[in-house]
Structure 1
Amino acid sequence: MQQPFIRGLILGTLLLSGSALAHFQTLIPSTDIVERPDQRELQLDLRFTHPMSQGPAMEMAEPERFGVLTDTGPEDLLPSLEPYQVDGQRAFRSRYAIRRPGDHLFYLQPAPYWEPAEGVMIVHYTKVLVDAYAGEPGWEQAVGFPVEIEPLVAPYGLWQGNLFTGVVRKNGQPVPFARVEVEWLNDGSLPPPPDPLVTQQLRADANGTFSYSMPFAGWWGFAALIEADRPLPGPDGQPVGVEEGGVIWVQAHPLPVRP
């Protein structure tokens, strides 16, 4: 007779603890720098999760947009998506063959996600840059998302300890004092730390600019979070608020071992 109560207590605890964790949409390529032909076949992983805590993952619906932007223009990659399971929830994978030198800006607009603990819909517009064969740089280009982080340093080829700087933009305009959350994509080498160390909290300045020094190697996610101007229908059809996130992923490379 006590088992349902115990299960409910455990579930409630997980929901409460999970609601304190930041949601991040990931878009992680197998490498951010393509130097050799054997690296040209990129694998990209898309999941909605809590990166530093290694989950749990949330269910992803079919994305609304997924593509790559190069100097030849945008290319729709939605047909390349393959669903798979993470923590029993749907995520997606994709493969992409690099065909030419230059920067490749991969971007994702996921379907809105209903977060019952917060009573909002969440849409994280996500991007990541891959440099191919040191071709003509194009990392300054924007996707044109409603909320987007404009990098002020090349978002690839960075060492651990480097300072990443960006500008939060909404409809192309800087957002003064925007809130930015930062998490490391835990590769399993670090036990999840206390909550304040899981999600780093930043505030942009009056020009929407923020900076963060990445202390160790790996993938880092930066999410600029803004309340949308218009609501979306919730599960019951009634309008609810929308958290729009502009997310960019940056890899910090380990420092070489010096003799």
Structure 2
Amino acid sequence: MQIKAAAMTAALLALLTGEAFAHFGMVIPSENIVTPEKKDITVDASFSHPFEMIGMDMVKPKQFYMLSGKEKTDLLPQLKESKVMEHQAWKTDITIKRPGVYSLVMEPQPYWEPAEDLSIIHYTKTIIAAFGDDQGWDEPAGIATEIVPMTRPFGNYAGNSFTGKVLLNGKPVPGAEVEVELYNKDKKFKAPSDYHVAQLVKADENGVFTFTCPQPGWWGFAALNEADYKLKNPAGEEKGVELGAVLWIYLDEYKKSN
């Protein structure tokens, strides 16, 4: 209930100030399909408002790693501080050497949001495919909360519908609300109203949702739920925690043949 009350307060502030408050953890690789010609990728990790292109400083994540099947590679030691949207972010370079489907997963440090009177933890992932392999993309990563794809999360066109399942502690979340935003990287688009910045779709009784992405580019899906524990705010007070299950997918545009 505290999360809902805080969300209502944030929404009221958005109406009064014209600002939107949709935060997204972001894990964005330079390529989501790895080929022999493009096997070296750069991955940017940040915490931002992707459509509005408003950044926020993010301290070094608590965890950052790559999963492929049962193999887990710790990427945290090789993260380097960088800038995304002119704010503190992190990046690393990765060379993919073998065929497979790879999940890049970030668990950030809790972010205190005074406007919502709570801490935010967005468990964020994206999934890339390498050298033609397409097995295992629908397997959970086993994190506290996540969106498991039910549509293959790569090799898709703009205009396709994407379906995912929201999990919290490994179990589906009936009626989960999922915020959806386009990474408006070149500020190509302008929202006609605050309602258009973050789209909203509700999952069914099995935690399954579907959304049609109208434009090419990176699309973020964030399912927000209240944690069953509290964290102290900077003043030492016990406050609620928003857990975000965030997934990023890339949609390509159709290209005409020569």
Letter in 2 for 1:206: E
Cα distance in 2 for residues equivalent to 1:189 and 1:66? 28
Indicate yes or no: 2:42 matched with 1:77.
no
- The answer to whether residue 148 in structure 2 is matched with residue 142 in structure 1 is no
5 Å-filtered alignment, 1:163-174, equals: 163-174=161-172
CA displacement at 1:136 relative to structure 2: 5.2
Corresponding residue for 1:108? 106
Report the Cα distance in structure 1 between the residues aligned to 2:119 and 2:134, rounded to whole angstroms. 38
Check if 1:158 corresponds to 2:156: yes
The answer to whether residue 249 in structure 2 is matched with residue 229 in structure 1 is no
Gaps of 5+ in 2: 1-12
Contact 1:21/1:199 (8 A) holds in 2:
no
- The runs of at least 4 consecutive aligned structure 1 residues that moved more than 3 Å come to 15-18
The one-letter code matched in structure 2 to 1:30 is S
1:29 alignment partner in structure 2 = 29
Q: CA RMSD in A?
A: 1.8
Partner of 1:202: 201
Larger Rg: 1
User: How does the TM-score come out when normalised to structure 1?
Assistant: 0.89
Q: For the Cα contact (< 8 Å) 2:53–2:187, is it kept in 1?
A: no
Q: Distance in 2 between matches of 1:152 and 1:249?
A: 14
Distance in 1, matches of 2:34 and 2:152, equals 15
Looking at structure 2, the residues matched to 207 and 72 of structure 1 have their Cα atoms a distance apart, in angstroms, of 26
Q: Provide the rounded CA distance (Å) in 1 between the counterparts of 2:82 and 2:72.
A: 26
Q: What's the offset of the Cα at 1:71?
A: 2.9
2:8 corresponds in structure 1 to: none
State the shift of 1:72 in Å: 5.0
Q: For residue 186 of structure 1, give the secondary structure of its aligned residue in structure 2.
A: coil
Distance 1:163 1:60, change over 3 A: same
Partner residue in 2 for 1:192: 190
Segments of structure 1 that go 5 or more residues without pairing to the other structure are 1-11
Q: Alpha-carbon deviations, 1:28-73, whole Å to 9, x = none?
A: 001111122x311110011111101111x11111101100001351
Q: Assess if the C-alpha contact under 8 Å between 2:53 and 2:85 holds in 1.
A: no
Instruction: Tell me the residue number matched to 2:7.
Output: none
Once residues 197 and 209 of structure 1 are traced to their aligned partners in structure 2, the CA distance between those partners, rounded to angstroms, is 22
Which deviations, in whole Å up to 9, do the C-alpha atoms of 1:128-165 show, x marking residues without a partner? Answer: 01100012512122221111111101111111111100
Aligned residues of 1:21 and 1:195 also touching (Cα < 8 A): no
- Kindly provide the CA deviation profile for residues 204-258 of structure 1, in whole angstroms up to 9, marking residues without a partner as x: 1111110001101000000010011101111111111111000000001001226
> Quick check: 1:240 aligned with 2:244?
no
Q: Which amino acid is 2:248 matched to? A: W
CA distance in 1, matches of 2:111, 2:241: 9
